[in-house]
Structure 1
């Protein structure tokens, strides 16, 4: 994670950036849902690029930003942990392939009201992820 990528926005860098080791142009690197839940919104902004926010079954909102293109899912769609929800990208205010993750108990994310929380409880606690491995918190 590097806050210098976001210096031009004048704001703080919040959430967690997750990148893949070997992204290839022209090849989609999948982004998988980390939880069971419901799609809350699919959006685009100049800062976050293409994004999808999922409302996990356990509550709150999980934002995924800088996606390669607009997700085919729409608000109200159900997702299961491990479902492909998007492709890793660099849309919005970045030029590095990654997904920006934020978790909040309310739908307003940190860039608007500072409501984000540490999403690391959703990450695998040890070991190394392998290609197509699902993350199981």
Structure 2
């Protein structure tokens, strides 16, 4: 209710009502409307910046944003696990696999090398969550690169393993005559008495005494490079090229069971014991060559002899007696 104001009129000696001017009335109304509009606008801005007055679409978008933030957090946790697993694989790769196959470890700076050059994440800038999106994307790309490097390393290890398997199969690793057929190991590698001249000379192989016709077996995988009687003193003999610098020789045979160029595997029957060439009695003269040099064959019987049998052979092989060729 509007207050009614009065003033004292000395002429009439009475109080008269003050009538407000129309201009002031209109001004007051205008001020009230402006103030109401101003406070209304400020209240609207305040409400628009809170969740009290969001539209259904805005609320749905906010839920999607919250969901994406949760998914990014879960993704980062999974990447933490992936990095731990990958680090374990890399450690085993460098310190076990590559060490075993005599391959150089992959340098840490090569595994952890970043991405240089232009800004790869420019399209991801300018958003409310750009820092989180860029950091997650960078981590994913680094993990992807590390996985590619590790995958290539494992491919290399697989190849080295296959080559290692071939090497182990190729090395002359068994006795060329079965123990059941062996009369005795007549002479070993080293200085021995020549059966014909009685002079002391180097004996470059091992002599296995066995009856004529006793089977002779390939001591490792390889290719028959010679099967002839054209080498002085060896008589009928066979040479097998095992690759990796290894070659084995089987001399004084009675006959062959293979031909030149034939592929053989460890344990294949290749010939039979005889006494051809410069030989005093039926036996097999067996040699192992590595990179063109003759080496002691006794170091290559781990594939066919027990520890006790090997010890007995080692004792006999070291006896400086007379060879049979």
TM-score, normalised to structure 1's length? 0.70
Query: Is 2:241 the partner of 1:51?
Result: no
Offset, 1:55: 1.1
Offset, 1:126: 3.0
RMSD: 2.6
State the Cα deviation string for residues 83-129 of structure 1 (Å, max 9, x = none). Answer: 1100011111113111111111245xxxxxxx31111122225355x
Match of 2:202 among 6, 9, 12: 12
State the Cα deviation string for residues 45-68 of structure 1 (Å, max 9, x = none). Answer: 341110000112553110111111
SS at match of 1:121: helix
Residue of structure 2 in register with 1:135 after alignment? none
Q: Which has the higher contact order (CA 8 A, sep 6+)?
A: 1
TM-score, normalised to structure 2's length? 0.32
Distance 1:73 1:8, change over 3 A: farther
Unaligned runs of 5+ in 1: 108-114, 129-137
1:1-137 to structure 2, matched below 5 A, reads 1=187, 3-5=193-195, 7=197, 12-20=202-210, 23=211, 28-44=213-229, 45-69=231-255, 71-106=256-291, 115-123=293-301, 124-127=305-308
Moved over 4 A (4+): 8-11
87-96 or 119-128: bigger deviation = 119-128
Structure number with higher helix proportion: 2
Indicate if the aligned counterparts of 2:222 and 2:265 stay in contact, CA closer than 8 A: yes
Indicate if the aligned counterparts of 2:223 and 2:241 stay in contact, CA closer than 8 A: yes
Which has the greater radius of gyration?
A: 2
In structure 2, how many angstroms separate the alpha carbons of the residues matched to 1:102 and 1:39? 15
Indicate if the aligned counterparts of 1:6 and 1:13 stay in contact, CA closer than 8 A: no
Distance 1:10 1:29, change over 3 A: same
Unaligned runs of 5+ in 2: 1-186, 310-325
State the Cα deviation string for residues 6-34 of structure 1 (Å, max 9, x = none). Answer: 537995321111122xx2x6xx2100111
39-48 or 118-127: bigger deviation = 118-127
Residue of structure 1 in register with 2:133 after alignment? none
Structure number with higher strand proportion: 1
Q: What is the total number of aligned residue pairs between the two structures?
A: 116
In structure 2, how many angstroms separate the alpha carbons of the residues matched to 1:30 and 1:49? 17
In structure 1, how many angstroms separate the alpha carbons of the residues matched to 2:259 and 2:198? 31
